[in-house]
């Protein structure tokens, strides 16, 4: 081996005055000249020392040692070094190695060039990769594919596609890189076009990689017909023995709305791994079938396969959505036992879960335990404070965020603006609103506009609100108009209420809430003729106000209530409690504020006959069925069809 090394650094002879001497005579020369011999010996040792350092993953030292030798080491040493740079995502060191090849006069072949391409791509410097690619005298399929995949992964799809179209021939790697690039960057249709093109024109046969990408595309559209077609292909070609293919297939059915089919495939899988389990569990959550999801989750826990951060994040988000803090706490405990990455999104999902459940102290504790909280955690906590009656804490936290050097994004500002709304800080809110664009260089989103209109309308500053609406660069959405309508109701602004309602009738004519609110505004103003007109319009259009339905969960059992509901077995106790409660409230001097009734006029009239609103019934039942001091959480369901439904959950302590 050492003898071989002797041959490679022929530039060694540069050190010796006799460059032209032959191999054997040089050896003799070396023997005769102690200095030359020492140099040779050192270089030789350094080569093997670099190899040794590479084996030990000591990248820094290896590169430092490399910089001390002027002549190129063997190609395999370069290769090892580059690979190590890739592993460490060490762009700086990688550049040093690259510079060394140039300085030492090493002429890299395609193989080493491809390594450099891969290194630059993985370290995130596509510019350097492109430069290497441009300078390559000779390229192979791998060179092209590495570039295409590099561009496709970061969403530079045009660049990727240009290379793809330009390359002389394509293989499965090229197709997969391109198709998955489209899938991951919201162009699933283009992905499927490409897949069809592959089937048509090229002789490339599908393999498990191309079909999984195509399945992901069908899932993202979603296109069940195409998904089924690919399923057929898979069976025909015999690719149905691969875990990932199965998983993608199950995912496709789930995303295309056939959750039963997804489960069917999931059940048939022999070697389910953490990804297939997690995906199936999340399917149930997305489908709103949380019991099923939680059941499958506990089944997974018993399977012996180790869950990962995706699993935890998925379940915790489901807990957050359902204010299921008891389960969230259990998951937290489990995570602590088996360990989780405090830098990962499982950690921020914890902050989110506790914030959403109203346990802001727990959220803060998790947040403080994070070595470097990410933006999602900051945002969750800020929004959590805003929602849980501590808007000033939310704003303080936001100022801390700015000091920490983390850049807020548009979602952070939704939390900030809603904090201002809750705190009634109108001018401060306006200041933040303007800073979004001016100080942070972000674009105002429809959400920001809805927030700021909500803020101004609640404060009765309708002139400014209208001014902003008229100047905004996009069409106001339904949330904005609904906020405005709500503000008009508080401040009895009939004119603007009409404008808001008309806009809402156009956007969502089928939503009864608009009619009800407008009728209420007219009723408050005593304009009964207008109330009747709104009612008639509702009837004419066939819009039906669904009765408000509320439910509360006591010990995992759901109890439902309609307005004026007397069918519950405990109905008598509930009504006694509520009667007692309003008696005591009146004694304390409480006067009901009719501006803030949550229900429509008809229901209000019912209430005068002691026909209680469903929320009141549910909360009352919760209070009398639980020990004193128990937290009762409420979670508005924001699905399209039932905006007035409340979800209340009693959590065992």
Partner DNA sequence: ATAGGGTTAG
Q: Candidates 304-312, 326-334, 519-527, 600-608 — which segment interacts with DNA by CB under 7 A?
A: 304-312
Give 147 or 578: the residue with its C-beta nearer to DNA.
147
Please tell me the distance from the alpha carbon of residue 284 to that of residue 250, in angstroms, as a whole number.
13
| 375 lies in the site for DNA, by CB under 7 A | yes
Taking the complex as a whole, the smallest distance from the CB of residue 165 to DNA amounts, in Å, to: 17
Taking the complex as a whole, the smallest distance from the CB of residue 576 to DNA amounts, in Å, to: 37
Give 24 or 241: the residue with its C-beta nearer to DNA.
241
| 379 lies in the site for DNA, by CB under 7 A | yes
| 399 lies in the site for DNA, by CB under 7 A | no
Taking the complex as a whole, the smallest distance from the CB of residue 461 to DNA amounts, in Å, to: 20
Characterise 544 by phi-psi region: left (phi > 0), alpha (psi -120 to 50), beta (else).
beta
Give 5 or 207: the residue with its C-beta nearer to DNA.
207
3-state secondary structure of 215: helix
List binders of DNA among 71-130 (CB under 7 A).
110-111, 114-115, 118
Taking the complex as a whole, the smallest distance from the CB of residue 87 to DNA amounts, in Å, to: 11
- End-to-end Cα distance, the chain: 71
CB-based contacts of 227, cutoff 8 Å, min separation 6: 215, 218, 219, 252, 253, 256
Q: Candidates 53-61, 378-386, 530-538, 573-581 — which segment interacts with DNA by CB under 7 A?
A: 378-386
Taking the complex as a whole, the smallest distance from the CB of residue 579 to DNA amounts, in Å, to: 36
Taking the complex as a whole, the smallest distance from the CB of residue 613 to DNA amounts, in Å, to: 25
Please tell me the distance from the alpha carbon of residue 1 to that of residue 21, in angstroms, as a whole number.
22
Taking the complex as a whole, the smallest distance from the CB of residue 283 to DNA amounts, in Å, to: 8
Q: In what order do the strands lie in the sheet with 549-554?
A: 557-562, 549-554, 646-650, 632-636
| 604 lies in the site for DNA, by CB under 7 A | no
| 233 lies in the site for DNA, by CB under 7 A | no
| 374 lies in the site for DNA, by CB under 7 A | yes
Q: Take residue 540 and report the two structure tokens written for it.
A: 């004419």
User: Smallest Cα–Cα separation from 375: which of 412, 338, 339?
Assistant: 412
Please count the helices (runs of H) and the strands (runs of E) in the chain: 35, 4
Q: Are strands 557-562 and 549-554 parallel, antiparallel or unpaired?
A: antiparallel
User: Smallest Cα–Cα separation from 417: which of 480, 350, 492, 490?
Assistant: 480
| 183 lies in the site for DNA, by CB under 7 A | yes
Chosen residue from 213, 359, 644, 649 binding DNA by CB under 7 A: 213
| 411 lies in the site for DNA, by CB under 7 A | yes
CB atoms near residue 253 (< 10 Å): 27
Chosen residue from 447, 466, 560, 573 binding DNA by CB under 7 A: 447
Taking the complex as a whole, the smallest distance from the CB of residue 442 to DNA amounts, in Å, to: 12
| 421 lies in the site for DNA, by CB under 7 A | no
Q: Take residue 454 and report the two structure tokens written for it.
A: 């909500």
| 188 lies in the site for DNA, by CB under 7 A | no
Chosen residue from 116, 151, 173, 647 binding DNA by CB under 7 A: 173
CB atoms near residue 342 (< 10 Å): 15
- Angle (CA) 104-43-72 rounded to 5° is 20
List binders of DNA among 37-66 (CB under 7 A).
none
The DSSP result for 433-460, as a single string, is HHHHHHTT-PPPPHHHHHHHHHHHHHTT
User: Contact, 362 vs 354, CB < 8 A?
Assistant: yes
Chosen residue from 100, 231, 356, 545 binding DNA by CB under 7 A: 356
Report in angstroms the alpha-carbon separations of 314 from 299, 364, 480, 515, 615. 15, 20, 30, 38, 29
Chosen residue from 383, 453, 488, 503 binding DNA by CB under 7 A: 383
List binders of DNA among 14-33 (CB under 7 A).
none
Chosen residue from 240, 287, 409, 464 binding DNA by CB under 7 A: 409
List binders of DNA among 320-339 (CB under 7 A).
320
Which string of x and - marks every residue 462-491 that binds DNA (by CB under 7 A)?
Answer: -----------------x------------
Where in 481-527 does DSSP place strands (E)?
none
| 388 lies in the site for DNA, by CB under 7 A | no
User: Contact, 349 vs 312, CB < 8 A?
Assistant: yes
List binders of DNA among 275-294 (CB under 7 A).
275-276, 278-279, 282
Please tell me the distance from the alpha carbon of residue 366 to that of residue 384, in angstroms, as a whole number.
13
Where in 78-129 does DSSP place strands (E)?
none
Give 72 or 415: the residue with its C-beta nearer to DNA.
415
| 299 lies in the site for DNA, by CB under 7 A | no
Q: Take residue 427 and report the two structure tokens written for it.
A: 């001018």
| 380 lies in the site for DNA, by CB under 7 A | yes
- Residue that has been written with the tokens 């070094």 in this structure: 81
- Residue that has been written with the tokens 């429509």 in this structure: 600
List binders of DNA among 238-267 (CB under 7 A).
242-248, 251
CB atoms near residue 384 (< 10 Å): 27
Q: Candidates 157-165, 212-220, 362-370, 617-625 — which segment interacts with DNA by CB under 7 A?
A: 212-220
CB atoms near residue 27 (< 10 Å): 15
Taking the complex as a whole, the smallest distance from the CB of residue 208 to DNA amounts, in Å, to: 3
């Amino acid at each position: 081996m050492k003898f071989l090394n002797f041959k490679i650094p022929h530039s060694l002879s540069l050190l010796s005055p006799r460059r032209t001497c032959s191999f054997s005579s040089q050896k003799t020369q070396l023997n005769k000249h102690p200095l030359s011999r020492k140099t040779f010996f050192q270089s030789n040792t350094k080569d093997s020392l670099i190899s040794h350092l590479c084996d030990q993953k000591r990248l820094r030292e290896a590169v430092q040692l490399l910089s001390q030798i002027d002549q190129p080491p063997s190609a395999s040493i370069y290769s090892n070094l580059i690979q190590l740079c890739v592993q460490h995502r060490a762009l700086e060191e990688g550049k040093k190695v690259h510079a060394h090849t140039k300085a030492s006069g090493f002429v890299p072949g395609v193989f080493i060039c491809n390594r450099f391409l891969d290194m630059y791509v993985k370290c995130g410097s596509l510019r350097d990769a492109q430069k290497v690619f441009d300078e390559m005298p000779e390229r192979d399929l791998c060179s092209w594919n590495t570039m295409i995949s590099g561009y496709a992964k970061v969403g530079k799809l045009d660049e990727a596609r240009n290379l793809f179209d330009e390359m002389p021939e394509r293989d499965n790697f090229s197709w997969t890189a391109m198709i998955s690039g489209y899938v991951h960057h919201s162009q699933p249709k283009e992905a499927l076009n490409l897949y069809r093109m592959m089937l048509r024109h090229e002789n490339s046969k599908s393999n498990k990689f191309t079909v999984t990408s195509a399945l992901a595309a069908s899932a993202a559209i979603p296109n069940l017909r195409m998904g089924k077609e690919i399923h057929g292909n898979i069976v025909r070609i015999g690719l149905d023995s691969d875990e990932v293919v199965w998983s993608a297939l199950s995912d496709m059915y789930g995303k295309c709305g056939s959750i039963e089919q997804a489960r069917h495939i999931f059940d048939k899988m022999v070697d389910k791994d953490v990804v297939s389990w997690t995906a199936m569990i999340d399917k149930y959550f997305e489908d709103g079938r949380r019991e099923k999801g939680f059941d499958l989750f506990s089944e997974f826990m018993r399977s012996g396969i180790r869950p990962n951060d995706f699993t935890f994040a998925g379940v915790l988000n489901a807990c957050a959505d359902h204010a299921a803090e008891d389960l969230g706490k259990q998951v937290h405990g489990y995570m602590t036992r088996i360990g989780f990455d405090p830098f990962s999104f499982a950690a921020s999902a914890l902050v989110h879960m506790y914030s959403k459940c109203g346990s802001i102290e727990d959220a803060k504790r998790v947040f403080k335990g994070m070595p470097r909280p990410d933006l999602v955690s900051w945002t969750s906590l800020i929004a959590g404070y805003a929602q849980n009656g501590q808007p000033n804490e939310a704003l303080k936290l936001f100022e801390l965020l700015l000091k920490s050097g983390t850049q807020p994004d548009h979602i952070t500002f939704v939390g900030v603006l809603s904090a201002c709304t809750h705190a009634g800080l109108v001018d401060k809110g306006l200041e933040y609103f303007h800073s979004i664009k001016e100080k942070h260089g972000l674009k105002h989103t429809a959400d920001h506009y809805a927030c700021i209109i909500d803020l101004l309308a609640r404060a009765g500053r309708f002139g400014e609100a209208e001014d902003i609406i008229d100047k905004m660069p996009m069409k106001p959405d339904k949330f904005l108009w609904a906020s405005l309508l709500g503000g008009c109701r508080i401040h009895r602004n009939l004119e603007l209420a009409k404008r808001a309602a008309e806009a809402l009738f156009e956007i969502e004519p089928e939503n009864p809430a608009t009619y009800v609110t407008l009728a209420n505004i007219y009723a408050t103003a005593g304009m009964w003729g207008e109330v009747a007109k709104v009612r008639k319009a509702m009837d004419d259009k066939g819009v039906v106000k669904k009765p408000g339905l509320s439910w509360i969960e006591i010990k995992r059992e759901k109890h439902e209530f309609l307005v004026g509901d007397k069918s519950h077995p405990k109905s008598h106790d509930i009504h006694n409690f509520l009667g007692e409660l309003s008696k005591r409230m009146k004694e304390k001097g409480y006067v009901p504020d009719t501006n803030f009734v949550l229900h429509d006029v008809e229901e209000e009239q019912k209430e005068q006959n002691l026909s209680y609103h469903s929320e009141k019934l549910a909360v009352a039942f919760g209070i009398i069925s639980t020990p004193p001091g128990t937290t009762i959480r409420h979670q508005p369901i924001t699905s399209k069809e039932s905006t007035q439904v409340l979800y209340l959950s009693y959590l065992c302590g």
